[in-house]
Amino acid sequence: MLLAAGVEPGDKVITNGFTFAAVPSSITHAGASAVYVETAENYTICLVDLEKKIASSGARYFMISHMRGKVADMDEVKRICDNAGVVLLEDCAHSLGAGSQGKSLEHFLVRLWFVVVVVVIFFLFCS
């Protein structure tokens, strides 16, 4: 995803401080380095620190993870990124069933994929 978005070796990618090894690992594998943003009291990303880190790092990419299904104010996140010319990438690994401002983060195909996996498992073990 990072390479497809245009991340190149030496780039900086902003991401959550509250994260999982797979996230900074993917940044490292893309040849970039991670810039971590503080966590708010509700476990979402701290938007004040996000603006500070965008300004101080000069990073052009921000990969947000909705850790444990905790979703930040994505309208505000998008506004901050758009104003700074930062490319917003979402890691939705923890987002099954999660939403923001009444809207589900799941894509229809993700739900369909989930249903297919459940049906296949059902037939494998119950037939």
Where along the sequence are the contacts to ligand PLP (CB under 6 A)?
A: 20, 22-23, 65, 91, 93-94
- Closest CB to ligand PLP among 47 and 92? 92
The strand order across the sheet containing 33-37 reads: 33-37, 12-16, 61-65, 87-91
- In the bound complex, what is the minimum distance in angstroms from residue 123's beta carbon to ligand PLP? 25
Interatomic CA distance for residues 122 and 99, integer angstroms: 28
Closest residue to bound ligand PLP by CB? 22
- Closest CB to ligand PLP among 84 and 90? 90
* Structure tokens that stand for 110 in this block: 């993700």
- In the bound complex, what is the minimum distance in angstroms from residue 28's beta carbon to ligand PLP? 12
Beta partners for 65? Answer: 91
* Structure tokens that stand for 39 in this block: 């966590």
- Closest CB to ligand PLP among 1 and 122? 1
